[in-house]
Amino acid sequence: MTNAEATTSTDRTGTGKAEAAPAHNFEAERLHALLEPEVLANRLYLEDVSIHVAGANRVVHVVVDLPQEETGGVGLDVIAEISKTLSDTLDNDPSTDSRPYELEVSSPGVGRP
């Protein structure tokens, strides 16, 4: 299952109606909207944002990629740079709760179209 599948509501009942989305989807969507301008400013595409809660902690996983018109993969230096930028954005987010977070930034890799 991909991150996108894990955070997207789908119809598994056969009724034509989507199941209720997990409660953290709202927060993931909010963070996607918050982080997307920063990612775009760095000439990247924001593919996914997911949140995994573990007790009082949470892991914010961000997947970035090159725009469709570019070939190749996202280099480690670019991942490090965008990680710093996104961390600063999250640290200054006035709408966040007080729970600590761990930021994980990755790219889909070369094996994925």
For residue 110, pLDDT beyond 80: no
> CA-to-CA distance for 42 and 62, rounded, in angstroms?
14
* Residue 14 resides in a domain: no
* Residue 32 resides in a domain: no
Contact indicator for 104, 59 with CB cutoff of 8 Å: yes
* Residue 5 resides in a domain: no
* Residue 30 resides in a domain: no
- What global pTM score does this model have? 0.75
**Count of the separate structural domains present in the chain:** 1
**Alpha carbon separation from 18 to 7, 55, 70 (Å, rounded):** 13, 28, 34
* Residue 54 resides in a domain: yes
pLDDT digits (tens, 9 = 90+) for 16-66: 444 444 455 899 999 999 999 999 999 999 999 999 988 888 999 999 999
CATH number for position 104:
3.30.300.70
**What domain range includes position 97?**
38-74+85-108
* Residue 29 resides in a domain: no
* Residue 25 resides in a domain: no
For residue 88, pLDDT beyond 60: yes
Mean pLDDT computed over 86-92: 96
